[in-house]
């Protein structure tokens, strides 16, 4: 249920119906109530004819309107050429009047009734009210649309937190695979909620706020719900953006309302997702601060400080940007405990896959453990999406169970996008692309510290023209210099192939060159792996441009050092290129044969590449390929182990 008043929506619907009913009643009155009482409208000349024929029984005169009744029915012609029978009629006196009309009525003993004409301008009133009521209705609907989740006209300041009752919340730690260290930390919170006297008797204070930090898709929200399920307490969930509105003071009011509701149901858990949307550093940015957001943050800080020790309320929040949070939020007494929810390990990935495969029919050839080994860098959300896509593909192919080929295709679809069936390469472009990808693959297969090859393809997918996929043998957390140097040479293999075979360069190496520059720069500045700058880190924490931090910082080394850094990066890049050239020349026969195989088949598995090079030491099985482990702690998986050529390539 929502935190706002449950009658808000009903009250809004009632107001809409009242406006509609009023408009309908006014229209009906204007159409029937203000006009003649009824009867067929006839010309005044026709009325004179019926009077001359002594066929008029009775008339009622009101102003210039004459309502009457005939002694017997008469007929009149319509514009369509037909005739209409009538006995009651309505007509109007002409503006010039009829002085002898009354004499003729008296002469024929016609009953004459006169009524005074109303002096109140009903027509003007109705014509004036209709636009006002209409504008009121439109304005009300507009205000309701401006309120997210439509909580009613008078509930804009009420909390939008969703309350999951303890009887409804069934998520437990059994539904959360991996994140063992995070779950151990959170069990302490559960013990406090179940038995607070145990800690108070020892003089201990349980953290009032718990901040879950980690990349997107790692299960931060799921962990918070599992805590509520394990503790068997009410769980209030709200997104940080739900506090923000176009009206001043709404955010702060919603914060107060949310905490008041939580206190009424304590012990309880308040969970704020995407805390960084309201918790960014105050007074920062090129354009100054946001008063409404800062008021909301100040109110949140006040509520965190306002807890009594025995209230039994725990505030949990999640963010993937802890670096931009205001320091007042993370000080002791507020969100004083930070729990890191990192990307899952191989073992954790296996457990996550087993959970998401519970209700999916898998064929006997599927080995979840091997899939877990082949997916370093995948988050829990990525693994769920992988199996879901595999299930959809199995249904599309009319399979009764999910096959290995479905998982393989799903992984390619998730990683690189759909096949671009309508894209046709001519023979020259196809040859150029084949040699480019063969360059990556041969260098990777020959160098001793490079990751094993899984697949080489020149089938256009998504934004990629061609892809060389490598399958790391295990998760890596530290990166040796020899591994990084081999990695750079593999990335430069495509550009080296272009120069060797065609004596030219193409735009298809754009992504390769960006990866090399980024990795070489980190080697020199951050990791002290250059020849000139050994054992020294020149790198700096990158400031947040939108907070104005980067512009306020200066470089901490001289211009001369900067030139030497650039020279060192250039040397590493050139060395990597030359190693790739030498490797391809040493394996020229395998290089040419692999390119020919790609032109013919468009896709070559890693086993075939290894057989060409003649080194079976790196041979791997056909497993779903990975987006790879990162070449540094700050690089994304896509930047490290999948070498794909940009759509802008001339290949």
**Which residues belong to the active site?**
437
Cβ-contact 411, 468 below 8 angstroms: no
Considering only CA atoms, which of 528, 491, 527, 526 is closest in space to residue 511? Answer: 491
20-23: which pairs have CB atoms within 8 A and are 24 or more residues apart? 20/137, 22/133, 23/130, 23/133, 23/134, 23/137
CB-CB contact of 432 with 498 (8 Å): yes
**CA–CA dist 559, 526 (Å, integer):** 18
CB proximity list for 397: less than 8 A, separation 6 or greater: 406
Distances (CA, A) of 368 to 158, 176, 306, 375, 383: 47, 17, 49, 11, 11
Which positions ≥6 away from 195 have C-beta within 8 Å? none
Q: What's the first-to-final CA gap in the chain, in angstroms? A: 57
Torsion of CA 124, 125, 129, 130, to 10 degrees: -50
Q: Please, which residues bridge with residue 310 across strands?
A: none
Q: How many angstroms separate the CA atoms of 86 and 57, rounded?
A: 13
Tokens read off for 566: 């650039």
| Strands (E) located in 541-632 | 603-605
Alpha helices in 462-587, H assignment, sequence order: 481-491, 493-502, 510-525, 549-552, 559-586
* Residue (of 635, 646, 644, 176) closest to 376 by Cα position: 635
Q: What sign does the CA torsion over 19, 21, 24, 30 have?
A: negative
**Edge-to-edge, what's the strand order for the sheet holding 313-319?**
162-164, 235-239, 268-273, 313-319, 209-213, 337-340
What token pair was written down for 211?
């901040």
Helices (H), 160-272: 180-194, 196-200, 220-231, 250-264
Torsions phi, psi for 604 (to 5 deg): -130, 125
Half-sphere exposure of 465 (CA within 13 A, CB side): 26
- List of long-range contacts for 130-138, beta carbons under 8 Å, 24+ apart: 130/23, 130/26, 130/27, 133/19, 133/22, 133/23, 133/26, 134/23, 136/19, 137/16, 137/19, 137/20, 137/23
Q: Which two tokens stand for residue 338?
A: 């930070």
Work out the widest C-alpha separation in the chain, in whole angstroms. 131
Residues 6+ apart with CB under 8 A from 398: none
Q: Which residue has the tokens 């008021």?
A: 295
**Two tokens at 137?**
């209705």
Going by C-alpha positions, the residue among 502, 533, 498, 527 that lies closest to residue 512 is 498
Task: Give the residue carrying structure tokens 């003993």.
Answer: 109
How distant is the alpha carbon of residue 21 from its chain centre? 40
């Amino acid at each position: 249920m929502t935190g706002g008043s449950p009658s808000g929506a009903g009250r809004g619907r009632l107001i809409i119906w009242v406006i509609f009913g009023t408009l309908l009643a006014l229209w009906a009155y204007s159409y029937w109530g203000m006009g003649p009482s009824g009867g067929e409208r006839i010309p005044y000349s026709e009325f004179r004819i019926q009077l001359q024929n002594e066929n008029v029984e009775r008339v009622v005169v009101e102003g210039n309107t004459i309502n009457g009744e005939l002694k017997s029915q008469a007929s009149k012609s319509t514009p369509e050429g037909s005739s209409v029978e009538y006995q009651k009629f309505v007509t109007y006196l002409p503006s010039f009047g009829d002085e002898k009309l009354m004499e003729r009525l008296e002469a024929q003993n016609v009953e004459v009734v006169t009524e005074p004409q109303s002096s109140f301008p009903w027509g003007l009133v109705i014509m004036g009210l209709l636009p006002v009521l209409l504008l009121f209705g439109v304005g009300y609907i507009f205000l309701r649309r401006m309120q997210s989740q439509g909580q009613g006209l008078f509930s804009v300041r009420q909390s939008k937190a969703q309350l999951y009752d303890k009887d409804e919340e069934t998520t437990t730690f059994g539904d959360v695979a991996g994140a063992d260290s995070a779950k151990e930390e959170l069990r302490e919170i559960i013990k406090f909620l179940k038995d607070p006297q145990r800690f108070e008797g020892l003089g201990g204070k349980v953290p009032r706020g718990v901040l879950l930090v980690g990349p997107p898709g790692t299960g931060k929200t799921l962990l918070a719900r599992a805590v509520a399920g394990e503790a068997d307490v009410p769980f209030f969930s709200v997104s940080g953006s739900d506090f923000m509105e176009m009206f001043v003071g709404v955010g702060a009011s919603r914060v107060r309302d949310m905490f008041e509701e939580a206190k009424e149901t304590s012990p309880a858990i308040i969970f704020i997702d995407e805390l960084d949307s309201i918790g960014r550093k105050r007074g920062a940015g090129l354009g100054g601060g946001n008063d409404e957001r800062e008021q909301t943050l100040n109110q949140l800080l006040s509520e965190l400080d306002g807890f009594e020790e025995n209230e039994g309320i725990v505030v949990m929040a999640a963010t993937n940007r802890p670096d931009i949070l205001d320091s007042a939020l993370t000080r002791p007494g507020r969100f004083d405990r930070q729990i890191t929810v990192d990307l899952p390990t191989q073992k954790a990935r296996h457990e996550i896959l087993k959970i998401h495969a519970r209700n999916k029919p898998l064929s006997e050839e599927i080995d979840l453990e091997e899939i877990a080994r082949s997916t370093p860098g995948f988050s829990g959300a990525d693994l769920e999406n992988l199996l879901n896509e595999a299930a959809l593909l199995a249904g599309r192919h009319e399979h009764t169970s999910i096959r290995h080929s479905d998982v393989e295709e799903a992984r390619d679809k998730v990683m690189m996008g759909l096949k671009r069936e309508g894209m046709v390469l001519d023979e020259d472009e196809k040859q150029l692309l084949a040699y480019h990808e063969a360059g990556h693959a041969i260098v990777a297969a020959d160098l001793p510290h490079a990751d094993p090859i899984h697949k080489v393809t020149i089938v256009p997918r998504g934004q990629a023209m061609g892809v060389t996929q490598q399958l790391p043998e295990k998760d890596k957390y530290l990166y040796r210099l020899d591994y990084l140097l081999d990695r750079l040479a593999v990335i430069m293999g495509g550009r080296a192939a272009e120069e060797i075979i065609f004596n030219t360069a193409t735009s298809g190496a754009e992504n390769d060159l960006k990866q090399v520059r980024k990795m070489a720069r980190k080697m020199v500045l951050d990791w002290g792996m250059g020849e000139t700058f050994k054992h020294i880190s020149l790198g700096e924490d990158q400031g947040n441009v939108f907070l104005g931090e980067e512009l306020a910082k200066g470089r901490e080394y001289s211009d001369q050092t900067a030139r030497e850094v650039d020279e060192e990066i250039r040397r590493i890049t050139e060395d990597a290129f030359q190693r790739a050239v030498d490797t391809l020349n040493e394996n020229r026969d395998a290089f040419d044969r692999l390119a020919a195989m790609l032109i013919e088949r468009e896709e070559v598995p890693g086993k075939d590449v290894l057989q060409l090079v003649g080194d079976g030491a790196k041979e791997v099985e056909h497993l779903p390929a990975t987006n790879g482990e990162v070449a540094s702690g700050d690089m994304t998986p896509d930047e490290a182990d999948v070498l794909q050529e940009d759509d802008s390539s001339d290949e």
